[in-house]
Amino acid sequence: MSSSETFWHQSKHVRKLLVLDLGFLGDTVHLIPALWAIRQAWPAAELHVMVAEHVTQLLEVTPWVDQAWGYPRFPKGPKPWQDWGRIKKLRAAKFDAVLNLNGSDRSSFLTWLSGAPLRLGRCASMSFKKRILFTHPVVLQRGGKMVSKQHCEFLQKAGIPCEEPEYRITVPARIEQSVGELLGMPPGTDRRVLHVSPFTTQDQKELPAEVLAVALNLIHRAVPEVPVVVSCANNERECVKLAQLLGRLDFTPYRVFAGGLGILELVAVLARSRLHLGGDSGGLHVAVMSGAPTVSWFRRYEGAVEWLPESERHHAFLGEESAAGILGIDGSALLGAALRFLECEK
């Protein structure tokens, strides 16, 4: 039996552990099922998690996590020598074990420098470096399956029980109340919305505005009773593009949030959605986590399978990348996929 396979048995006594990932929004969403499995494996331990600083708020939906640590990665991360203050705090926390599900160079060195006596980490090969940085290295190549399933496989290789990825989340009551007011739908209201997230971080990952506008116009004509809610990030690029998209619509959306939703508010809106319509972005993964059916669009690329939602509640289109946006997906195809979910609830 390898050292990685015995990790869980060797660490059952730990009372304080850190899961270290440093991921952005989508990465952190895909981390949550693994966190739930870790919580079940160490029900009495103090569970800490370190992710990108600007998405730590998401972990408020996991009240069974004791503390979230933020790492500054946006818009860019610190220089290595700027990490000494954080390393001192990690060492002062005196973690019994660190679980590194990412295995990047920076996160691997942070794992080592944490001072934890037990250090489980992912690596692509059993390199000398990783043997030094981790007491229990796990060799697991990237790709081939959804990120959340890769995390589950990683835990299994370490002897930690983990079945199919499972989301156990709770939206804070204050957020439910505020979003109910924003939508004009108090908690307990049966009416649900169609949420549209038109943009990502790059033009080539988005649908051309004319294609998305045609799809939205067709959907609204087919199911005018479904309130359409459109949201985007709080930056100039997306707000300008949103104004251009709205100018192409032949109806007025029920609500438009031009950067007005925080991460938790987005979770609550998606929990009230009959359908999420959007591209390959963190919002799509939040929708899956929140239990909303999704219709999404992806450009063809080698790593797409790691992020494509699975199950009959999700439909993803693959198109060709171009400077003008994703090509090969038309409005009528999007209409057909959307109606599959919207009409079944009539």
The boundaries of the domain holding residue 16 are 7-157
Same domain, 200 and 326: yes
- Distance separating alpha carbons of residues 174 and 131, to the nearest angstrom: 46
| Residue 119 domain flag | yes
Say which CATH number the domain at 13 has. 3.40.50.2000
Same domain, 66 and 188: no
Print the SS3 string covering 258-323. Answer: ECCCCHHHHHHHHHCEEEEEEECCHHHHHHHHHCCCEEEEEECCCCHHHCCCCCCCEEEEEEECCC
| Residue 38 domain flag | yes
| Residue 212 domain flag | yes
| Residue 104 domain flag | yes
Same domain, 56 and 189: no
List the structure tokens of 287: 């929708």
| Residue 148 domain flag | yes
CB atoms closer than 10 angstroms to residue 172: 14
End-to-end CA distance of the chain: 55
Given 100, 128, 157, which residue is the final one in a domain?
157
Closest among 327, 333, 340, 251 to 294, alpha carbons compared: 340
Q: What angle do CA 176, 182, 183 make, to 5 degrees?
A: 90
- Distance separating alpha carbons of residues 227 and 252, to the nearest angstrom: 10
* Interacting residues of 173 by C-beta distance below 8 A, sequence separation 6+: none
* Interacting residues of 65 by C-beta distance below 8 A, sequence separation 6+: 35, 39, 47, 48, 49, 59
Report which DSSP code applies to 59.
G
Beta strands in the chain (DSSP E): 16-20, 46-52, 67-71, 97-100, 118-123, 136-139, 193-197, 228-232, 255-258, 273-279, 294-299, 314-319
> How many domains does the structure of the chain reveal?
2
| Residue 166 domain flag | no
Same domain, 231 and 147: no
Q: How confident is the model at residue 345 (pLDDT cuts 50, 70, 90)?
A: low
- Distance separating alpha carbons of residues 102 and 50, to the nearest angstrom: 11
Sign for the CA dihedral angle at 237, 238, 243, 247 comes to positive
Pairing of strands 255-258, 273-279: unpaired
Q: What is the pLDDT of residues 255-306, one digit of tens each?
A: 999 988 999 999 999 999 999 999 999 999 999 999 999 999 999 998 999 9
Model pLDDT, residue 2 = 52
Mean pLDDT across 16-24 = 95
Q: What is the pLDDT of residues 203-261, one digit of tens each?
A: 999 999 999 999 999 999 999 999 999 999 999 999 999 999 999 999 999 999 998 89
Q: How confident is the model at residue 149 (pLDDT cuts 50, 70, 90)?
A: very high
List the structure tokens of 263: 């991460």
Pairing of strands 136-139, 193-197: unpaired
Overall pTM > 0.85: yes
List the structure tokens of 58: 């998401």
